[in-house]
Each structure stands twice: as C-alpha cells, then as structure tokens.
Amino acid sequence: MNGVFRISLTVNGVKKNFAVKNNEFLLNALRRYGYKGAKKGCDTGDCGSCTVIFNGKPALACLIPAFTAHGAEITTIEGVGTVRNPHPLQEAFVEAGAVQCGFCIPGMILSSKHLLDVNPSPSEDDIKKYLDGNLCRCTGYVKQIQAVKMAAKKIKKA
C-alpha cells in the first residue's frame, strides 16, 4: 500500500507542509520540494552527501522515513548562509581550497557547523571525527580540516 501522509515540519526556519509517500525517504521529499543541496549519493547512509541537521543533530536524510519528520526541525545547506552573506564555514571552505567538485561539501559543512555549534574550539581529532561520515573522492580531507579550523577562528572573532 502506497499511502500518502501530510506532514508539517520546519525547514530552514520556515514552517512547511509536505505530502509524502509511506515508502519515501526524507532526502527524496526534500529534493522534491526544492531543497537540492542534500545530495543523493549512496542511498545506504555510507557517504554523508545527504546530511541535514535534524532536530539539532546531523542526520542522513537518505535513511529517515519522510513521514517520521512530522514536527521536525530541519536545516539544509540552503539554510546556512547565502551567496551575499555566506556562513564563516562556507567562506573558509572556499578560502582553503577545500571545494573541488562540490558534491560532498553540503554534508561536510552541515556536519562541521554542528561541531562548531557544540564545540567552538575543536581539536583536529574532533574535526576528523565529525567529517568521518562524509566521503570525498576528490581530496585527502586536509583542506577540509584546515577550513574548519579557519572557520572556528572566524566565528570566535565575530
């Protein structure tokens, strides 16, 4: 049976109503409603490209049944900075040369944002732990780690 559920949720601070199928995952629903920043990589929770902040914590949208997001607060990359006013993490990733193809970057930035929200002075090991679930086929993660360190300094100065 492919029933449709109506759910209410908050996406990037805005109340939304979605119609979702009982077998649909949050990633697909978000993308269908225009939030394309969460990427469809593996569909198995292994790559981190679909990372969102779900009720205050990083979560893999490809593993969350969409109907369970009723009442949830979700932040996607679209809710983190703008082109004219980027988040310090977004600035730092560009400045450090940490963005290559860009496919993994939304998940990395959201994971890193959560880290800096809970730990404004992370160690390199803390950063590695938070980025561990985000696969990047273009780099060796050195520049992403540098970017998170740079962003932490920028945020402290702000």
pLDDT 10s digit of each residue in the chain, 158 long?
A: 569 999 999 999 999 999 999 999 999 999 999 999 999 999 999 999 999 999 999 999 999 999 999 999 999 999 999 999 999 999 999 999 999 888 999 999 999 999 999 999 999 999 999 999 999 988 889 999 999 999 999 999 87
Asked if 29 and 11 count as a contact pair (C-beta separation under 8 A), the reply is no
Size (the chain), residues: 158
Please report the pLDDT score of residue 21 as a whole number. Answer: 96
The pLDDT assigned to 55 comes to 99
SS3 51: strand
| Cβ-based neighbour number of residue 97 at 10 Å | 13
Instruction: State the residue for tokens 């273009």.
Output: 138
- As for how many domains the chain has, the answer is 2
Domain that holds residue 138: 88-157
Q: Could you tell me which of 47, 48, 43 has the C-alpha nearest to residue 77? A: 48
Q: Based on the fold, state whether residues 108 and 146 are members of the same structural domain.
A: yes
CATH number, position 101: 1.10.150.120
Q: Which of 33, 36, 28 is nearest to 10 (CA)?
A: 33
The answer on 132 and 73 residing in a single domain is: no
CATH of the domain at 8: 3.10.20.30
Is there a single domain that holds both residue 64 and residue 105? no
Q: What is the pLDDT of residue 128?
A: 97
